[in-house]
Amino acid sequence: MSKRKLKKNSKETSAVVGLKQASQSEQYDMLLYVAALALIVAICVVPLTPEMFISGLPQHQHTVLKMDEAFLTVKNELDTEVAVSWVSERCYQCLYQQLGVVPAASSPGQPSSGDFVVSTQHEITLQLNSTPVSLELCTLPFHFGERGNYSLWLKSLNDPSSFNCTVVTNAEPVNSYIPILVAFLVFAGLALVSAIGRLILGLDVVKGILFRIGGSMETERLINSELGSPGRTVTTITENILPHAPNQSKRLRSLDTFRGISLVIMVFVNYGGGRYWFFRHESWNGLTVADLVFPWFVFIMGTSISLSINSLLRAGSTRCSLLRKVLWRSLQLFLIGVFVINPNYCQGSLTWYNLRIPGVLQRLAWSYLVVASLDLMVARGHLDILTMDAWWSPGLDILLYWPTWLCVLLLEFIWLCLTFLLPVQGCPTGYLGPGGIGDMGLYTNCTGGAAGFIDRWLLGENHIYQTPSSRVIYATHMPFDPEGVLGSINSILMAFLGLQAGKIILHYRDRHQSIMSRFLIWGLFLGVISAVLTKCSTDQGFIPVNKNLWSLSYVTTLACFAFVLLVLVYYTVDVKKWWSGAPFYYPGMNSILVYVGHEVFEEYFPFRWRMSNSQSHAEHLTQNLVATSCWVFISYVLYRKKIFWKI
């Protein structure tokens, strides 16, 4: 061979070895992930006996306690019946709900008793009233432990008008958080092992060994190719290693990683989250882990819109052709969403009478349609001719697109007017509460205020979500859809803030410090707005943080978190390259397939199986982690096979 060919082959060898090392690194990460999951399964799934169901109960007691329940015996030494009521600390201005009645003591020193099952998810306040004359005897806040056994003694003091209430622990509760602690430690250990492994693989000595091993094999391949192996076609170096994704070389890995983080948590939460309360949606105001992920997904969708439209305009696509694609993709997303959330075909024929219309993919479709259409009106294909030295350059990414900002602010003005000025029969104007037993039961049928009213008026009660999360604590009975019409306006705002993140990346490209500082400034600005709107409280602000309503403060709060998280992921993945984004990167590359797949195959093995103890957090957590990990592994295999589902 000539010297030029040898030099070229040497460069090819180095490139191939580098790509192989990257591929081996991905396999290394996935092997560690699988090993960690296997360890969690081995630790958390333990033999379960029937005695575990009645842990802490007296031998004569046959009450079977479920998850998040405890056993309470009320001992009454008074000569009058006592009504026992309760209310959760998470229930704002709520009516007490009655547990039951304890009869009067038969004789002095011989107390009567009543047995009850109480919730252990949150602290509750017990109230004891005498009957038939309702006189409050005592009020006692207490946080019961799961499957604990407790006694509440009600005694009369020397003063006839004074009473003493004391809770005694008969049997200690179980620690239901150990399984999730074990899972956290195992995955934290996985991350540590991965970091140490990458550090070792980055040493010059190890690199030299891998290069010599890989180089000798590649040299032999190149020699064979020069001799002309029969029936062999010479391909580019990256053809069998990198997926065929558009603009792969310019694709920011951090964006797919961010999307993957949101998606993986969303799948885990949808599968049950181990049945822990903080992996379920908040009943009304406030935030849990489950309330974070959907807005983040909408946010990063807006970022991708900005980068994608800019790339297509630079490639020569016309705005009309792109608008047609946007319309078609939005329609596809909407229809897929309707099919996914109406799986009644397993229970019989579908009926239009109770077909649910709003949903997650439907809201994504609406947000995508509006934000992409707005961006198409003002997006610039060539940004390199814009000056960065003028006094107004720090606001370049906003000033250049002022028409879209006006449109979004107008939409937000419409949301505020409808929310706070639209009259709703039987409800106070501007009501943002859950109805039910909230607000002292004054507005039982006012769940969601204007948002609920608009959905029931436009879509009909039978076509919206029938079991909202407000039923859990507030005992509401009105249908209410968290993906309803009015909240979709604020989802547009969330996607538009993500679009703004994309504009920052475009205008300050290759200037990492400027990009990250802008992200942090936006995060701080939105955080201040949230603090003002909520008065730094859960329920007493002007506009509380509320996922069901997709309130303005909910959007600003979650957008604040999104900008900060994006800074961290961008810095570690794309700037410093300390982290490859695995394993979240792979589902982020196939987000639509993973989301639709996890909804459609939710009830099938290996995503769900019959458990030996359905009241075990450990077994639920294991099942949900296995199901989520299956989708991570599927997305990894599809990534290796270069299969990407785009619509």
Helix axis angle, 591-600 relative to 253-270, nearest 10°? Answer: 10
Q: What is the pLDDT of residues 109-155, one digit of tens each?
A: 788 889 999 999 999 999 998 887 778 888 999 999 999 999 999 88
pLDDT confidence tier of residue 37, bands split at 50, 70 and 90 = low
Q: Is 218's pLDDT higher than 60?
A: no
CA distance 537 to 341: 34
pLDDT at 366: 95
Residue percentage of the chain with pLDDT more than 70: 81
User: Could you say which DSSP state residue 384 is in?
Assistant: T
Q: Is 105's pLDDT higher than 90?
A: no
Residue percentage of the chain with pLDDT more than 90: 53
Q: Considering only 16-25, 483-492, 612-621, which range has the smallest mean pLDDT? A: 16-25
Domains of the chain (ranges, CATH numbers): 69-174 (2.60.40), 253-379+398-641 (no CATH)
**Greatest pairwise CA separation for the chain in angstroms:** 110
Q: Is 312's pLDDT higher than 60?
A: yes
Q: Considering only 189-193, 209-213, 259-263, 581-585, which range has the smallest mean pLDDT? A: 209-213
Q: Give the best-scoring range by mean pLDDT among 52-61, 92-101, 191-200, 610-619.
A: 92-101
Where b means 16+ CB within 10 Å and e means fewer, 460-475 reads eeebbbeebbbbbbbb
Q: Is 285's pLDDT higher than 70?
A: yes
Please give the backbone phi and psi of residue 420, each rounded to the nearest 5 degrees, phi first. -105, -10
> What residue type is assigned to position 19 of the chain?
L
Active site residues: 281
pLDDT at 53: 39
Rg, the chain, Cα only: 30
pLDDT confidence tier of residue 38, bands split at 50, 70 and 90 = low
CA distance 320 to 70: 62
pLDDT at 308: 92
CA distance 215 to 621: 45
Q: Give this prediction's pTM.
A: 0.85
pLDDT at 383: 66
Compute how many other C-beta atoms are within 10 angstroms of the C-beta atom of residue 95. 18
Q: Considering only 44-53, 114-123, 142-151, 490-499, which range has the smallest mean pLDDT? A: 44-53
pLDDT at 143: 93
pLDDT confidence tier of residue 621, bands split at 50, 70 and 90 = very high
> What residue type is assigned to position 275 of the chain?
R
Could you give the strand order of the β-sheet that contains 163-171, starting from the edge strand earlier in sequence?
112-119, 69-76, 149-156, 163-171
Q: What angle do CA 495, 463, 279 make, to 5 degrees?
A: 55
Q: What is the pLDDT of residues 348-385, one digit of tens each?
A: 566 788 888 999 999 999 999 999 999 999 887 776 54
User: Could you say which DSSP state residue 285 is in?
Assistant: B
For 526, counting Cβ atoms within 10 Å of its Cβ (0-12 exposed, 13-18 middle, 19+ buried), the class is buried
Q: What is the pLDDT of residues 149-204, one digit of tens each?
A: 999 998 877 666 677 888 999 989 999 899 989 888 888 888 888 778 777 877 77
